[in-house]
Amino acid sequence: MKYLIVGLGNIGAEYQGTRHNIGFTILDALAQASNIVFHTERYGDVATMRLKNCQLVLLKPSTYMNLSGEAVRYWMARENIDISRLLVVVDDLALPFGTIRLKGRGSDGGHNGLANITQLIASADFARLRFGIGNDFPRGMQVDYVLSPPTPEQLEVLPARVTVAVDAIKAFCLSGLTFAMNNFNNK
């Protein structure tokens, strides 16, 4: 079985380590734990790995967050991956920092990256792993908040929460969405 695991973020040094790039951070941790490296390909940085009987194609789109659908559509077609084996890892303002929620489908929740993917693959029926980044910002400061690094307190818990997210991705591929949801939502 082949899976496409997409971590959303923005390219460029100015975005590295920001809350909005948590998808990149989680995919980097998965790749590092598996001793694989990303290579620049069309529409993003890509790495492939084996996980028991599964092949995972890891994608960090280079299209910037709001145009992530271009990369997802291209790599789904190139690798002949069915929508049921697509998992998008994304930041979520509505969840407390470090909270993980897996869902099999749903709205974009105001997230432009998810909205663009939904539009370009013509379906919202794909799995997503939402990683909470919290919403502790003054009114009108959302953009500054998501494009800034986590607080020192958040950075302290970040490695452990990223490890949980990596384990959730592995569970999704090896045991399916329902198992992963039951074992990692609320963990």
Q: Give the largest Cα separation in the chain, rounded.
A: 47
Confidence bin at 135 (pLDDT 50/70/90): confident
Q: Is the pLDDT of residue 179 over 80?
A: yes
Residue numbers annotated as active site: 20
> Can you tell me the mean pLDDT for 147-158?
94
What is the count of structural domains for the chain? 1
Instruction: Look up the domain containing 81 and give its range.
Output: 2-184
SS3 of residue 69 by DSSP: helix
Task: Please report, for the domain that includes residue 20, its CATH number.
Answer: 3.40.50.1470
pTM: 0.94
Q: Can you tell me the distance from the alpha carbon of 62 to that of 15, in angstroms, rounded to the nearest whole number? A: 12
Q: Is the pLDDT of residue 186 over 80?
A: no
33-83 pLDDT, tens digit per residue, is 999 999 999 999 999 999 999 999 999 999 988 999 999 999 999 999 999
Residues 6+ apart with CB under 8 A from 153: none
Q: Is the pLDDT of residue 21 over 80?
A: yes
For 117, the token pair is 């993917």
Q: Interhelix angle for 112-121 vs 68-78, to 10°?
A: 40
79-117 pLDDT, tens digit per residue, is 999 999 999 999 999 899 999 999 999 887 778 888 999
The label of the residue with tokens 């899976």 reads 3
